[in-house]
Amino acid sequence: MELNTEIYEHDNDVDVTHKINTIELDNWVNHLKYIEKEVNNLVNMCTINEKLEDKNVLQRFQKKKVENNSLLRALLNYSNSRVDIAECEDMNCDMTFIKEHEAYRKSYLYHLDKYRRLKDEFFDKVQGSFTLKN
C-alpha cells in the first residue's frame, strides 16, 4: 500500500508532514539508485584507464557503494514500515514516524555529503592527471 501524497485543504499539519516526508523519501530512494549506477561507472573508469587508476580512490568508491546499498536497503525497509502511518491514532504515534524520518534525513544527507566529497576528490585527481600527462 502506498501513501497518498496529494495534499488537500482538509489535511491537518501532521497529514501534510507525512505526505511531504513520503515524497522526500521517494526522492532519496531514487537518488541512491542513481548513485549506485554512478559509482559503478566511476569504479569502471578507475579500472579501465590506467591514468585514473588509484587504488585508494577505487577502494573508497567500492566502500561507498556498499554504504550506499546499505542505506538504500534501510530506506526501502523504512518506506515499507510507513504503511502503518494510516493506523496512527494519537500524536505520539505520529511523532515517532516524524522523528524516525528526521533520523533518516540526517543519515541520507551525511551519506550524500561524503559521496560528493569523494567524487570531487576523484575529479580533481582526474583533471590533474590529464593536465600532467598532456
- pLDDT tens per residue, range 60-100: 999 999 999 999 999 999 999 998 888 888 999 999 999 99
More confident residue, 103 or 51: 103
For the entire predicted model, the pTM comes to 0.85
Q: What pLDDT is attached to residue 130?
A: 57
**Interatomic CA distance for residues 49 and 30, integer angstroms:** 29
Amino acid making up residue 101: H
CB 97 within 8 A of CB 18: yes
Give pLDDT, residue 124: 86
Query: Is residue 44's pLDDT more than 80?
Result: yes
pLDDT attached to residue 93: 92
Q: Are 70 and 39 in contact (CB under 8 A)?
A: no
Share of the chain above pLDDT 90, in %: 57
Q: Kindly list the domain boundaries of the chain, sorted by start residue.
A: 13-129
DSSP symbol at 51: T
> Could you tell me the three cell numbers for 66?
556498499
Determine contact, residues 57/122, Cβ cutoff 8 Å. yes
